[in-house]
């Protein structure tokens, strides 16, 4: 892996590299700090302290009133599944832009699921839960959450630590550590009221009895450290992403930019009419760049993205779209080179027909 150049990694919406400062914070907890955070002896107490500090760091970034409202999970997929099977049994409204872990779960568990835009304000049926993601992982659109009279959930995976987003009046929010330079396999669920959800994993009573299983102390500590760093440097990260996306755009005046009126600077969705997104991903890869033609969890699927189509793209446009997602390790020079690579590749692929 040593030959990989992180400045050319433009798939930060799929995952971010571990920040070296986060790695440093995690290291003791993979070594002498191996205690079980539920044990009452000194090793356990030390691990418990580290977990609770991380809970405070994440709660602060979320704007949660109390750290006890944050439960650690394995990531946003788990948190989304938990809310949508643990908190709702009948009618839920889900925006058409949701991640597949929301869309599929609501369809599997809900007696009366509703995926669509219409009727957000006029509620045709009694909505028990509305789920609207904070930032769309495919387009970077920042979505407003029309609060329903029941419970409100937001998948904040692409928003937390990136755009100024906080839980506000929400009842539930989901997020993952590896989208903000923390480790993979750890994330969280914000619960305004712990009594509003059923236990997800039964076992040793961890996480106030709602999610059993020995805590991933090193991962949780890493998530806490990543949250604290994101809080400190959010403005800097955003300004950096803005400059990089402009550089890619400047090189590609003929591509259609799928920006929303309110847009996260970290994601750039570009459509190259007449081409396929995959062919551009392959060309970029051959030049040492990582970009994507859709979310990593949907790669290999042949259908055009339902999210892009809900955002107003035609089927052909959805197939001709790439996602470029910016992060801390990218440089302006690499962004310009990526922009040029995309422009030249699009020209030569168009000639090949
Ligand atoms: N929601 C959104 C908006 C995402 O972008 C992702 C990751 N692609 C997830 C949920 C799932 O996150 P994880 O794979 O960490 O569980």
Tell me: do 194 and 302 sit in the same domain: no
Q: What is the Cα–Cα distance from 163 to 142, expressed in whole angstroms?
A: 9
Residue nearest to atom 8 of ligand 1 (CA): 14
Question: DSSP H helical segments within 34-75, as ranges?
Answer: 42-62
Tell me: do 347 and 210 sit in the same domain: no
Which of 230, 248, 273 is the C-terminal boundary of a domain?
Answer: 230
Residue 131 sits in a domain whose CATH number is: 3.40.640.10
List, for residues 256-272, the tens digit of each pLDDT value.
999 999 999 999 999 99
Of 68, 53, 54, the C-alpha closest to 195 is 68
Tell me: do 95 and 239 sit in the same domain: no
Tell me: do 61 and 84 sit in the same domain: yes
Q: Looking at the domain assignment, is residue 28 inside a domain?
A: yes
List, for residues 189-245, the tens digit of each pLDDT value.
999 998 889 999 999 999 999 999 999 999 999 999 999 999 999 999 999 999 999
Ligand 1 atom at shortest distance from the alpha carbon of 98: 3
- The answer for residues whose C-beta is within 8 angstroms of residue 15's C-beta and 6 or more apart is 178, 179, 184, 296
Average pLDDT score over the chain: 92
The answer, yes or no, to whether any atom of ligand 1 lies below 6 A from the CB of 101, is yes
Ligand 1 atom at shortest distance from the alpha carbon of 297: 8
Tell me: do 156 and 49 sit in the same domain: yes
Which of 179, 213, 230 is the C-terminal boundary of a domain?
Answer: 230
Tell me: do 219 and 275 sit in the same domain: no
Confidence of residue 122 (pLDDT cuts 50, 70, 90): very low
Residue 245 sits in a domain whose CATH number is: 3.90.1150.10
Could you tell which of 74, 76, 131 is best to mutate to test the pocket of ligand 1, judged by most ligand atoms within 8 Å of the CB? 76
- The answer for residues whose C-beta is within 8 angstroms of residue 328's C-beta and 6 or more apart is 16, 19, 181, 237, 240
Q: Looking at the domain assignment, is residue 199 inside a domain?
A: yes
Tell me: do 208 and 309 sit in the same domain: no
Q: Looking at the domain assignment, is residue 78 inside a domain?
A: yes
Q: Looking at the domain assignment, is residue 102 inside a domain?
A: yes
The answer, yes or no, to whether any atom of ligand 1 lies below 6 A from the CB of 264, is no
Cross-sheet strand order for the sheet of 129-131: 70-73, 187-191, 172-176, 151-155, 129-131, 91-94, 112-115
Which of 230, 253, 284 is the C-terminal boundary of a domain?
Answer: 230
Q: Looking at the domain assignment, is residue 347 inside a domain?
A: yes
Backbone angles phi and psi of 264, in degrees to 5: -80, 135
Tell me: do 225 and 242 sit in the same domain: no
pTM: 0.94
What's the token pair of residue 307? 């999210």
Q: Looking at the domain assignment, is residue 201 inside a domain?
A: yes
**Could you tell me the residue range of the domain that residue 296 belongs to?**
6-15+234-352
Tell me: do 279 and 341 sit in the same domain: yes
Q: Looking at the domain assignment, is residue 1 inside a domain?
A: no
- Assess contact for 255 and 266: CB atoms under 8 A: no
Of 158, 19, 11, the C-alpha closest to 75 is 158
33 CA from centroid of ligand 1 (Å): 29
DSSP assignment of 186-213: -EEEEES-GGGS--SB-SS-TTTTTB-S
Q: pLDDT over 90 for what percent of the chain?
A: 79
Tell me: do 156 and 283 sit in the same domain: no
347 CA from centroid of ligand 1 (Å): 33
- The answer for residues whose C-beta is within 8 angstroms of residue 231's C-beta and 6 or more apart is 57, 60, 61, 161
Q: Look at the chain and report how many structural domains it folds into.
A: 2
Q: Which residues are catalytic?
A: 297
41 CA from centroid of ligand 1 (Å): 36
Q: What is the Cα–Cα distance from 240 to 233, expressed in whole angstroms?
A: 11
Tell me: do 146 and 226 sit in the same domain: yes
Tell me: do 206 and 344 sit in the same domain: no
The answer, yes or no, to whether any atom of ligand 1 lies below 6 A from the CB of 157, is yes
């Amino acid at each position: 892996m040593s030959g990989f150049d992180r400045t050319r990694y433009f798939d930060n919406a799929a995952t971010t590299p571990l920040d070296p400062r986060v790695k440093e914070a995690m290291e003791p907890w993979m070594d002498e700090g191996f205690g079980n955070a539920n044990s009452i002896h000194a090793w356990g107490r030390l691990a418990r302290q580290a977990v609770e500090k991380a809970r405070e760091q994440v709660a602060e970034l979320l704007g949660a009133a109390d750290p006890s409202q944050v439960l650690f999970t394995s990531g946003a997929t788990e948190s989304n599944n938990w809310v949508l099977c643990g908190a709702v049994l009948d009618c839920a409204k889900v925006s058409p832009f949701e991640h597949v872990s929301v869309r599929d779960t609501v369809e599997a568990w809900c007696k009366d699921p509703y995926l669509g835009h219409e009727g957000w304000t006029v509620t045709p049926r009694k909505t028990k839960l509305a789920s609207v993601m904070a930032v769309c992982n495919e387009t970077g659109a920042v979505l407003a959450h029309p609060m329903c009279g029941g419970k409100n959930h937001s998948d904040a995976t692409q928003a937390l630590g990136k755009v100024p987003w906080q839980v506000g009046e929400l009842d539930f929010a989901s997020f993952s550590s590896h989208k903000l330079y923390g480790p993979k396999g750890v994330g969280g669920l914000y619960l305004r009221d712990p009594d509003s959800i059923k236990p997800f994993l039964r076992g040793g009573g961890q996480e106030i009895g709602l999610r059993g299983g020995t805590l991933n102390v090193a991962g949780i500590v890493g998530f806490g450290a990543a949250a604290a760093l994101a809080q400190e440097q959010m403005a800097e990260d955003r300004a950096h992403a803005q400059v990089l996306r402009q550089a890619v755009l400047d090189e590609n005046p003929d591509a259609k930019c799928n920006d929303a009126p309110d847009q996260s600077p970290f994601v750039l969705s570009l459509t190259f009419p007449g081409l396929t997104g995959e062919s551009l991903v392959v060309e970029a890869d051959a030049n040492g760049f990582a970009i994507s033609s859709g979310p990593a969890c949907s790669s290999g699927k042949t259908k055009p993205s339902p999210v892009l189509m809900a955002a107003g793209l035609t089927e052909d446009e959805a197939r001709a779209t790439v996602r470029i997602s910016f992060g801390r390790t990218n440089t302006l020079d690499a962004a310009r080179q990526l922009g040029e690579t995309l422009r030249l590749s699009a020209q030569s692929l168009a000639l090949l027909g």
